[in-house]
Amino acid sequence: MKKLRVGVIYGGRSGEHEVSIASAAAIFKHLDRTRYEAVPIRIEKDGRWAIADKAPVALSASEVIEQQRLQAARTPRPGRDTLLVSHPSEDTIVTIERRPGIDGEREDDRAVVTGLGLDVVFPVLHGPFGEDGTVQGLLELSAVPYVGSGVLASAAGMDKAAMKALFAARGLPQAAYEVLTHFEWRRDPAAASARLLALGLPLFVKPANLGSSVGISKVKTAEALDEALATAFEFDRKAVIEAAVPDPREIECAVLGNDEPEASVPGEVIPSREFYDYEAKYLDHGSRTIIPADLDAATVARVQQLALDAFRAIDAAGMSRVDFLLSRTTGALALNEINTIPGFTTISMFSKLWEASGVAYGTLIDRLIALALERHAAKQKLRTSAF
């Protein structure tokens, strides 16, 4: 059987660049070489696209982050540069285009990336300029099949304000929240603060468009609010401010599918810090997970149903990880957010949740590629003309 050419896009122009490299490394390691021909497509932090000279092999985000910090300080460890991070050659800049055959059925009726025909693209880009619908829009314009959600769901899944509005429209349970723009804060900081403090303390202040807990602050006093907002507005023009869930447990559930999505067993994250911030996720190694989570059957069913409801609320496709906060004090379950391109290393929650549900990592990749081709085929049957 002819191998499928799979372009894996990773890196990207976001604060989650390093996490993306680790996710891509795991995919390259587990792609079945008898079925797929992998093409590593790296987006540098300055936005340049290139075919990497080799696929990345670092399997943890902390390894990549450590190396990036060393490179930034210009003190890389000998022998580690090329091991962990692939470097593009000057003559392999990427372009994406279409070269359709005359009858639409010829072999070259595929996207072309520097002369390599791709059958499907696997974007493993976390955060802005990759998970937010921008790359998905490019691939749509090029008529390239790709893994994961489309433009709308990707954009809504990245923008926490839009996401929460869609959840609210479906009547899904959430913590009380407000949305504040940088302009509103600069125009009348006193009025903005009063509106936010009406939610009660403590508060979580988040950039609306970012992931991996980058730029998030927990605010315990009114005096700390301005500093938290300033931090959030360094990353985005819009912030989401949420009332804290009392004594929360962090519960996560993975979703897989297109029109008939399935939910995994839920898992629980035990952060090493006060909340699951960037350091706790990737650097200090003290956080741990419990899979499956210690929940009664009714709560498991509730988590799984809400995960599917959240997936459908934003019109997601392919994959997502849905995060919840379960209060030990009240027993209430609050939907926190949905991630349309979750971390994809073998130790990431998405893959671990599916492994605990009976879907091995390699099989997970196979299913996601099949779902991408299925969705693309269905879209190609739609009419593009009124005549």
For residue 238, the tally of other CB atoms under 10 A from its CB is: 21
Tokens of residue 80, six digits: 């580690």
Residues of CATH 3.30.1490.20 domain(s) within the chain? 176-243
Per mean pLDDT, which of 106-110, 253-257, 279-283 is the most reliable?
Answer: 253-257
pLDDT above 90: residue 198: yes
Lowest-confidence segment of 43-57, 140-154, 258-272 by average pLDDT: 43-57
What per-residue confidence (pLDDT) applies to 71? 63
Q: What is the pLDDT of residue 19?
A: 86
Q: Where in the chain is the domain with CATH 3.30.470.20?
A: 248-378
**pLDDT higher for 107 or 46?**
46
Which helix (DSSP H) or strand (DSSP E) does residue 339 occupy? strand 333-339
Which pLDDT score, from 0 to 100, does residue 94 have? Answer: 60
Confidence of residue 93 (pLDDT cuts 50, 70, 90): low
* pLDDT at residue 215 in the model: 87
Tokens 């997502």 locate to 320
Report domain 4-146's class.
alpha beta
Q: Which fold has domain 248-378?
A: D-amino Acid Aminotransferase; Chain A, domain 1 (3.30.470)
SS3 category, 143: coil
* Range of lowest pLDDT (70-74, 311-315, 355-359): 70-74
Q: What is the pLDDT of residues 21-61, one digit of tens each?
A: 999 999 999 999 999 999 999 999 888 888 888 898 865 66
- What pTM was computed for the model? 0.86
Of 183, 147, 201, nearest to 368 by C-alpha is 147
Q: Give the whole-angstrom CA distance, residue 71 versus residue 302.
A: 46
pLDDT of 64 above 90: no
| Rounded average pLDDT over 11-27 | 89
What is the predicted pLDDT for the residue at 167?
98
CA 266 – CA 307 distance, rounded (Å)? 10
Amino acid at 18: E
Give buried/exposed letters for 82-96 (b at 16+ CB in 10 A, else e): eebbbebeeeeebeb
Per the prediction, the chain carries an average pLDDT of 86
**Is residue 232 pLDDT above 70, yes or no?**
yes
Answer whether residue 101 shows pLDDT above 50.
Answer: no
Domain with CATH 3.40.50.20 in the chain: 4-146
pLDDT above 70 covers a percentage of the chain that reads 80
Q: Would you state the pLDDT for residue 316?
A: 98
To which CATH superfamily is domain 176-243 assigned? ATP-grasp fold, A domain (3.30.1490.20)
Query: Average of pLDDT values for 72-86?
Result: 45
Mean pLDDT of 184-200: 97
pLDDT category at 92 given cuts 50, 70, 90 is low
